[in-house]
Structure 1
Amino acid sequence: MRKVSLVILALGILPHLWAQQQEEANPDTSWKTQYRESAPRINDLVHTKLDVKFDYSKSYMNGKAWITLAPHFYPTDSLTLDAKGMDIQKVAIVKGGSTQTLKYKYDSWQLNINLDKTYKGGEQYTVYIEYTAKPNEVKVQGSAAITDAKGLYFINPKGEEKDKPTQIWTQGETEATSVWCPTIDKPDQKTTNEFIMTVPAKYVTLSNGKLVSSKNNADGTRTDDWKMELPHAPYLFFMGVGDYSVIKDSYKGKEVNYYVEKEYAPVAKKIFGNTPEMMGFYSRILGVEFPWVKYSQIVGRDYVSGAMENTTATLHQESAQQDARELVDGNGWESTIAHELFHQWFGDLVTCESWSNLTLNESFANYSETLWDEYKYGKDAGDAQNFGDMQGYIQSHSEKKDLVRFYYNDKEAMFDAVSYNKGGRILHMLRSYVGDSAFFKALNLYLTTNKFKSAEAHQLRLAFEEVTGKDLNWFWNQWYYGAGHPQLSIDYAYDDAAKKVQVTIKQTQAGDNAFILPIAIDIYTGAEKVRHEVWIKDKEATFFFAYDKRPDLVNVDARKTLLAEKKDNKTLENFIHQYKYAATYLDRREAIDFASKNQNDPKAQELMMLALKDKYFGLRSFAISKLDLKNDAVKKQAEPILAEIAQKDPKAPTRASALSALVQFNNGIYKSLFTKLVNDSSYTVAGTSLEALFKLDSAAAVGEAKRLVKYPAKGKLVESLTTIMIKAGSENDFDLVAKAFDNMPISQAKFNLLPTFCQYLTVVKDTEKVKKGVDMVIEFRDALAAYGLVPYVNNLLTGVVKKKEAANAPAEQIEYIKKKMESTEDKKGF
């Protein structure tokens, strides 16, 4: 699963704070002494067969289940299944062609069955259950990553919401499959399955495995039979139903399909079309061919948890569906597509045996994004992805959490920046330490040894030790079973008389714990470098390196793979040399960052101008964002470069960054450029240009906005359009403004617009319009309630109330807003 926090950047830290807030708010701290062991295996799932029909009017699912199991080792005469919130009509044992009713107890959570006899270890039996699943009536707490856990979701089932499709989809992780399928809902179980779904004939279906038959029925329905012949965990079961276009692709003769809403059929391959290449790339580096019979991806409305790696059938939230103009800015969902695909090996083929070991799923999927970017777009792109994820972990302030965590308040708390971001960076360090060949060979050994099974982190260690011949307990104890990361202060002292440079590295993190850090130190003289491999084992380490000529640069952590916060006390001259000759993404980024803080120095200005033309577009944008345009010398040098970037840079986001900078010149000469670019094919460039035009000529910008608001718009453009309409418009424009805001999907742009939209509501006088606007704000709030958004939005609405009160607005408006602030949707998410 890839969390929505990785999509909504402004909310990125909230999911990680969610778990911390839950633990702090809970007065019961008994969990701190409760060891979270792997679930005991008394009975093992063997095969699960379902025959289901959906009641759209009630959002129920009527099911028949045939579940084949066997005692794991010890004989048993009983079976406990997870079955949440169901109506159970019948429980029986299958005997040949007949069934024999069994006695059972059911508490609406677990189904305890007395079997017809004592079964020996490995002796298979099949139970039959008739039931009705009522997902909307089940109260199950989710998490920040998994915003609720009712398992089965009916989207607009009665077709009452205009312009919204009717869909059904399931979400099993962590243990919500048991809301719609009686099972042993634990990650250390593996089973094959067959799902038979009867649906209205106008809809298509998707499930695990392969569609083996499809039969039209006389009553206008169709029955589809999906078979999954290789075992996988119950939380990876999937059913999807809806009016989709199915775009067909292939990989080595295997089906690769993209289920999208019909509007997006023409661009489906532009969104998902790299999937076969990804499958080939991952298969090659792992030495394990894509293990499943097919791979489909489906987009679900109202799914806000990013995406979920159901075996052979990944579910994506609707943000994946981007139109052609959005894709001009780059495929914003590509990393998620890569992430979920890698799960088909790490998580699906080999599954964490407990949620404590979630790193075996999510850390790998997170790191796969770096691997893909590095392969497809070059080392700078991979390094940029890696650095961004490292910052996500550091900013989450999760230093006290182990990666493998046997003590937690709730299993959902495991889905955080440690399991994802930190774990991915630990894999990056491990790859750097053992080398690429050993790294991927060890992954191959881990996968082939544990395929179709569950595993714990020590099994990963054993695979690496077998391949490398090294004892890696120190690495696992420090990074997998320990917490935190090093904070380093690095100092240099040159002794020209002795011809030696002294490098002192201090670990300044709290506590006495010192990290063991194997790192590379490069000594540069001109373009020539000499690499020294050293180990840091103490809180303070000092190294001496001889030289004939004073080095131009001593580059600590030369590979730039270390998970650490660094205060690197180099000079500007050192950093300039680093930018020019060390040349990795992070080498250059560090140099730009240092120079940006010293822009009164002509040498720093020179570096900033050089960085504006960096070979990697991300660093060009970074340099633009760091320019001090209040400095006349910087401003004069940067202007012609920015103007050229704004018009000619091959990357739309970088052109937009340059346009934002040009606004600060307040120069009417750019009006024609801004006016021209409001029609650019890139939403980001068009939206940025419209905002730029507004600052130069607000009347012209408002005219353009009123023209453009009549046409489809997304992303930055709709944000800019709505902002300008609000700032310059009147209550007469409410319908246009409200429609634009309401049509925005859950996104960064909509989050950015919240304060402005709430400010607009303070000047709207019509009570019905105020109510309508408030309802839109509340709908967005409740969609992301589990991410900690409620206090933030309620604070904005409190500001609206205060201004309404100050303006003596009708009491009906004020009371309506207060009432809405007090209510939070029970569903908290989907």
Structure 2
Amino acid sequence: MKTLYAALIGGSMSALAISTAFAQAPAPESPAYKMYRETTPKINDLVHTKLDVRFDYKKRYLYGKEWVTLKPHFYPTDSLRLDAKGMDLKTIAVVKNGKNVPLKFTYDSLTVAIKLDKTYQGGEAYTLYIDYTSKPNELKAKGSAAISDAKGLYFINPDGTEKDKPTQIWTQGETESSSCWFPTIDKPNQKTTEEIAMTVPAKYVTLSNGRLASQKVNGDGTRTDVWKQELPHSPYLFMMAVGDFKIYKDKWRDKEVSYYLEPKYAPYAKDIFGFTPEVMEFYSKTLGVDYPWYKYSQIVVRDYVSGAMENTSATLHGEYVQGTKRELADRYYDGGRSTIVHELFHQWFGDYVTAESWSNLTVNESFADFSESIWAEYKYGKDAGDAHSYEAMLNYLSQPNAKTKNLVRFHYNDKEDVFDVVTYQKGGRILYMLRNFLGKEAFYKGLNIYLKTNAFKNGEAQQLRLAMEEASGRDLNWFFNQWYYGAGHPILNVTYKWDDATKKQTVYLEQTQDGNAFILPMAIDIYAGGKKVRHNVWMRDKTDTLTFDVAAKPDLVNVDGDKILLTKKTDTKSLDELSFQYFNAPLYLDRFEAIDGVKARQTDEKARKVIVAAMQDKYYGLRLKAINAANITTNDDVRNAAVPVLVKLAQSDENNLVRAAAINALGKLKASGNLNLFKQAYASDSYVIQGAAMNAIGQINPTEALQLAKSREKDAEGAAKQAVINVYATSGTDAEWPYVYNAFKNAGDPNTQFGMVRKVADFAARVKNPEYAQQGIQAIGEVGLKYKQYGVAPSVIQILNGIKDARTKMGDTASAATVDKAVAPLN
């Protein structure tokens, strides 16, 4: 799963969204936290699950019939407990010679305890028939920071009353919500084959796991589709989707690949998902295990409760991955593509081999996070892969409470808590680090052993360790003990001393984190006399002093030469060394660190040269970083050096985001001489460039920007629409308020909505009509309440109180009172 949380922190979110639920989690000393979370014992094993379902759109019910085949795992048993949340259970019977023999059962609304007709021996199969009704909208289900709701089955606009929203049905099983729509043993260490017959209005299409085995048109305007998943998988990976989708058929080798989209986006199916077969080929060859399922489908649905979900052979995506060709041209890798590859990698790590418990979720989600970096590296180059991995590490390091949590976590307050930056971003970075330590060949051989040994079964971190040891011949207990079964990370300080008399270079390493030292194998590269010499060292203690003989004072001593360690590092390089590092050290992070190191020293010519050179870096992410770092509004020397480069970038850089960033930077100068450049950029097909140009024009001529915004109201999308909102919020009148308000209320995903909050607040603070102000206050309050579990409440309260101050000064006591009402539930 690509969680909503991961989607929030992985994109260009405002500071408002970065404050997350994980900082708000219950204290570790709570009773729930003290409980050891064992792997669920296997008393009965699922074997096969056959479902016959139909839907009541008016009541939001599912009417289901189930035939579930099980067998005792080892010990004889005369009883069975199934998860069945919030259902009406009409009949439970054992199937004997084609007849249903009723069984006694007790039901507590969450699980059903069934007395079997006899004692079954280990391995002796039996089949139950269950007639039930699922009522998901009547179920009180607790969501999480990863998944904002947990009722399993979702009816979207079932009555057709919501304008511009299609009628859909879809399911979401992770973590244990499949049992909201069919009785099962809803645990990840269960595996079952599957058959689902869905009876739906004939005008709709369906999607489920496995293959479409048959379709039958009924006489009442419905159609019954039968889907069969003939390889075993866990219940949380079951899925259904029903709606008006257009299907684009693609192919990987001899297997069907298909993309399900709303009709509006069907013409762009290939643009959105068309690289999928290439990713399937790359992963299959890299892992030495071909894509294992019958087919691979991807579907985009409305109002999804997370980011995306890797249902076996049928991934479900939130709508943020889709877009027109123009919109997609501005998004690049992190604009949805990384999610697509993340979910695809799960078809091996998570579906083919599944974590045996939520404590070991790392063998699902850390790998999916890691896969994003290796695909970026393969497709876009090493800089892109390193950038993605480093960004993941920064996301982990930004969460102060994350350092207290083990990667393999046998203690937690709720299973949903495991879906966090530790499991995703930290875990992905650990795998990136392990690959570097072992070498790619041994690492991928280890993954191959792990997958083949545990195919269609369950895995945990210890099995991963054993597979890596078998492949590499190395003992890895030290690595797994500190990274998988321990918490935190090293905080590494690096200082240097050169002794010209003895020609010795000393490097002082110090780990300052609480607790024991981390064992850190690392490369130290010494650049001197036009050559680079690598020294491979191990840091095993909290402090270490390393001395190297060098013929002349080094131009650079580069600790962690592979830039791979998971650490918070403070390095004390001089400006000369940072400049040398930017121009001579080869890696993305070498250049990133150099830009970071010089950005506060731009009064020095060496620092300016680095910034200006970095504006033209080969990797667009560093061009963006340098543009944003340049002090062109406060330093004449920087401005004189940077403006010619910025003009060139604004006019002709191959990357739309870089062009837009250059335009934004030039716009801050408010120089009328750039107006023609901005007007030319405004004519671009790129929404992000067009939006940047509109904002830049607004810096010089607000009236003209307001006219441009009005002309683009109806057809603006993406960044251009945000620019219209920005211009209206900055320079508009009450006449423009309805547009901004409706755009905010109807934003399709949290990224967009959070990005608008402050602008909507600014506008609400100054509109003349108190009713408009109150609309804005209520809408912002609703967003804060909806995402309160993500820890955004304090920031939303601050924003609302800012509106209150402004409205009070205007004498608008009614709006000030509305703020108080909106704030109350956020406290």
Q: TM-score, normalised by structure 2?
A: 0.96
1:328–1:681: 8 Å Cα contact kept in structure 2?
Answer: no
For residue 267 of structure 1, what is the aligned residue in structure 2?
A: 268
CA distance in 2, matches of 1:675, 1:688: 11
SS in 1 for 2:497: strand
CA distance in 2, matches of 1:311, 1:151: 16
The equivalent position to 1:720 in structure 2, one of 701, 718, 723, is 723
Change in CA separation of 1:817 and 1:493 when aligned onto 2, cut-off 3 Å: closer
SS in 1 for 2:674: helix
User: Residue 249 of structure 1: CA displacement?
Assistant: 0.7
CA distance in 2, matches of 1:14, 1:748: 8
Change in CA separation of 1:45 and 1:473 when aligned onto 2, cut-off 3 Å: same
SS in 2 for 1:578: helix
For residue 2 of structure 1, what is the aligned residue in structure 2?
A: 2
1:13–1:395: 8 Å Cα contact kept in structure 2?
Answer: no
Change in CA separation of 1:773 and 1:571 when aligned onto 2, cut-off 3 Å: closer
Where in structure 2 are there 5+ consecutive unaligned residues?
none
Which deviates more, 441-450 or 713-722? 713-722
Instruction: Give the 5 Å matches for 1:677-688.
Output: 677-688=681-692
Which deviates more, 201-210 or 738-747? 738-747
User: Residue 756 of structure 1: CA displacement?
Assistant: 2.0
SS in 1 for 2:404: coil
2:213–2:227: 8 Å Cα contact kept in structure 1?
Answer: yes
1:489–1:505: 8 Å Cα contact kept in structure 2?
Answer: yes
User: Residue 546 of structure 1: CA displacement?
Assistant: 1.1
Instruction: Give the 5 Å matches for 1:595-606.
Output: 595-606=598-609
1:756-788 CA-partner distances (Å, limit 9, x unpaired): 213323444556655654554455445534323
For residue 78 of structure 1, what is the aligned residue in structure 2?
A: 79
CA distance in 1, matches of 2:713, 2:391: 34
1:246 aligns with 2:247: yes
SS in 2 for 1:256: strand
1:7–1:747: 8 Å Cα contact kept in structure 2?
Answer: no
The equivalent position to 2:664 in structure 1, one of 641, 660, 664, is 660
For residue 300 of structure 2, what is the aligned residue in structure 1?
A: 299
User: Residue 89 of structure 1: CA displacement?
Assistant: 0.6
1:268-289 CA-partner distances (Å, limit 9, x unpaired): 1111111100000000000000
CA distance in 1, matches of 2:208, 2:531: 57
1:751 aligns with 2:775: no
1:580 aligns with 2:613: no
User: Residue 3 of structure 1: CA displacement?
Assistant: 1.7
1:129-170 CA-partner distances (Å, limit 9, x unpaired): 111101111112111011121111111110110100111111
Change in CA separation of 1:68 and 1:426 when aligned onto 2, cut-off 3 Å: same
The one-letter code matched in structure 1 to 2:669 is: F
CA distance in 2, matches of 1:32, 1:734: 47
1:394-434 CA-partner distances (Å, limit 9, x unpaired): 00121111110111111111001000010011101111111
The equivalent position to 2:707 in structure 1, one of 698, 703, 709, is 703
User: Residue 330 of structure 1: CA displacement?
Assistant: 3.1
CA distance in 1, matches of 2:813, 2:505: 74
1:371 aligns with 2:352: no
CA distance in 1, matches of 2:258, 2:786: 29
Instruction: Give the 5 Å matches for 1:610-649.
Output: 610-629=613-632, 630-649=634-653
User: Residue 317 of structure 1: CA displacement?
Assistant: 0.5
1:155–1:166: 8 Å Cα contact kept in structure 2?
Answer: yes
1:553 aligns with 2:556: yes
User: Residue 573 of structure 1: CA displacement?
Assistant: 1.6
Change in CA separation of 1:634 and 1:259 when aligned onto 2, cut-off 3 Å: same
SS in 1 for 2:282: helix
CA distance in 2, matches of 1:526, 1:217: 82
For residue 457 of structure 1, what is the aligned residue in structure 2?
A: 461
User: Residue 244 of structure 1: CA displacement?
Assistant: 0.7
The equivalent position to 1:392 in structure 2, one of 386, 392, 395, is 395
For residue 111 of structure 1, what is the aligned residue in structure 2?
A: 112
2:16–2:792: 8 Å Cα contact kept in structure 1?
Answer: no
Which deviates more, 613-622 or 497-506? 497-506
CA distance in 2, matches of 1:819, 1:59: 32
1:33-83 CA-partner distances (Å, limit 9, x unpaired): 311110000000001111000100011101001110000000000000000
Instruction: Give the 5 Å matches for 1:126-205.
Output: 126-205=127-206
For residue 43 of structure 1, what is the aligned residue in structure 2?
A: 44
1:502-555 CA-partner distances (Å, limit 9, x unpaired): 1111111123x1010111111112542111111100111111111222222111
1:565-621 CA-partner distances (Å, limit 9, x unpaired): 111112222222222221100011111111212111111111222111111111111
2:23–2:791: 8 Å Cα contact kept in structure 1?
Answer: no
1:5–1:13: 8 Å Cα contact kept in structure 2?
Answer: no
Change in CA separation of 1:428 and 1:466 when aligned onto 2, cut-off 3 Å: same
CA distance in 1, matches of 2:640, 2:295: 57
Instruction: Give the 5 Å matches for 1:32-71.
Output: 32-71=33-72
User: Residue 96 of structure 1: CA displacement?
Assistant: 2.3
Change in CA separation of 1:15 and 1:137 when aligned onto 2, cut-off 3 Å: farther
1:246-281 CA-partner distances (Å, limit 9, x unpaired): 111110111111111111111111111111000000
1:553–1:578: 8 Å Cα contact kept in structure 2?
Answer: yes
Q: Report sequence identity in percent.
A: 52
CA distance in 2, matches of 1:195, 1:35: 36
Instruction: Give the 5 Å matches for 1:205-604.
Output: 205-331=206-332, 332-397=335-400, 398-511=402-515, 513-604=516-607
CA distance in 2, matches of 1:210, 1:782: 41
Change in CA separation of 1:55 and 1:564 when aligned onto 2, cut-off 3 Å: same
CA distance in 1, matches of 2:449, 2:465: 11
User: Residue 451 of structure 1: CA displacement?
Assistant: 0.7
CA distance in 1, matches of 2:142, 2:331: 36
2:149–2:305: 8 Å Cα contact kept in structure 1?
Answer: no
User: Residue 792 of structure 1: CA displacement?
Assistant: 3.6
CA RMSD of aligned residues (A): 1.9
SS in 2 for 1:80: strand
The one-letter code matched in structure 2 to 1:796 is: I
CA distance in 2, matches of 1:160, 1:792: 34
Change in CA separation of 1:721 and 1:766 when aligned onto 2, cut-off 3 Å: same
CA distance in 1, matches of 2:317, 2:806: 40
1:728-754 CA-partner distances (Å, limit 9, x unpaired): 221122333333333432243431221
User: Residue 808 of structure 1: CA displacement?
Assistant: 4.1
User: Residue 189 of structure 1: CA displacement?
Assistant: 0.5
User: Residue 632 of structure 1: CA displacement?
Assistant: 1.0
1:51–1:63: 8 Å Cα contact kept in structure 2?
Answer: yes
CA distance in 2, matches of 1:234, 1:448: 21
Which deviates more, 667-676 or 156-165? 667-676
CA distance in 2, matches of 1:581, 1:258: 45
Which deviates more, 730-739 or 443-452? 730-739
For residue 739 of structure 1, what is the aligned residue in structure 2?
A: 742
CA distance in 1, matches of 2:639, 2:555: 29
Which deviates more, 134-143 or 522-531? 522-531
1:327-356 CA-partner distances (Å, limit 9, x unpaired): 121341000001000000000011111111
CA distance in 2, matches of 1:821, 1:608: 44
The one-letter code matched in structure 2 to 1:272 is: F
For residue 828 of structure 1, what is the aligned residue in structure 2?
A: none
The one-letter code matched in structure 2 to 1:479 is: W
2:23–2:399: 8 Å Cα contact kept in structure 1?
Answer: no
The one-letter code matched in structure 1 to 2:452 is: T
For residue 95 of structure 1, what is the aligned residue in structure 2?
A: 96
The one-letter code matched in structure 1 to 2:787 is: L
1:731–1:763: 8 Å Cα contact kept in structure 2?
Answer: no
Give the paired residue count: 819
User: Residue 814 of structure 1: CA displacement?
Assistant: 5.8
SS in 1 for 2:159: coil
The one-letter code matched in structure 2 to 1:463 is: A
Where in structure 1 are there 5+ consecutive unaligned residues?
825-830
